[in-house]
Homo-oligomer: A and B are copies of this chain.
Amino acid sequence: MPNIVHRIGMENIGPEQAYKAVATREGLASWWTEKVTGESKVGNILQFRFQTGVSDFEVLEMTPPKRIRWKCVGGPDQWLDTRVYFDIMQEDGETILLFKHCGWREKTEFMHHCSTSWASFLLGLKELLDGGQRRPFGPRYRRISRWSK
Using a CB–CB cutoff of 8 Å, the interface residues on chain A facing chain B are: 2-11, 92-94, 96, 98-100, 107, 109, 111-113, 115-116, 119-120, 122-123, 126-127, 142, 144-147
Q: Give 8 pairs: A residue, B residue, CB < 8 Å, sorted on A.
A: A2-B2, A2-B3, A5-B115, A9-B144, A94-B146, A99-B112, A119-B120, A119-B123
Residues of B within 8 A of A113 (CB): 7
* Known interface pairs A94-B145, A144-B123; A115-B8 also in contact (CB < 8 Å): no
Contact of A144 among B5, B112, B126 (CB under 8 A): B126
Distance (Å) between the CB of A107 and the closest chain B CB? 7
**A107 CB contacts on chain B under 8 angstroms:** 3, 5
Give the secondary structure class of A's interface: mixed
In the complex, residue of chain B having the shortest beta-carbon distance to the beta carbon of A119: B119
Q: How far is the CA of A148 from the CA of B142 in the complex (A)?
A: 22
Asked if residues B8 and A144 are in contact (CB atoms below 8 Å), the reply is yes
Query: Shortest distance in angstroms between A102's beta carbon and chain B's nearest beta carbon?
Result: 10
Pair B116/A122 contact, Cβ less than 8 Å: yes
CA distance A96 to B6 in the complex (A): 22
Instruction: Give the complex CA separation of A70 and B119 in angstroms.
Output: 23
Contacts of A147 on B, CB cut-off 8 Å?
7, 9
Interfacial chain B residues near A116, Cβ < 8 Å: 6-8, 119, 122-123
**A116 CA to B34 CA, complexed, in Å:** 23
Among B93, B98, B144, the residue within 8 A (CB) of A7 is B144
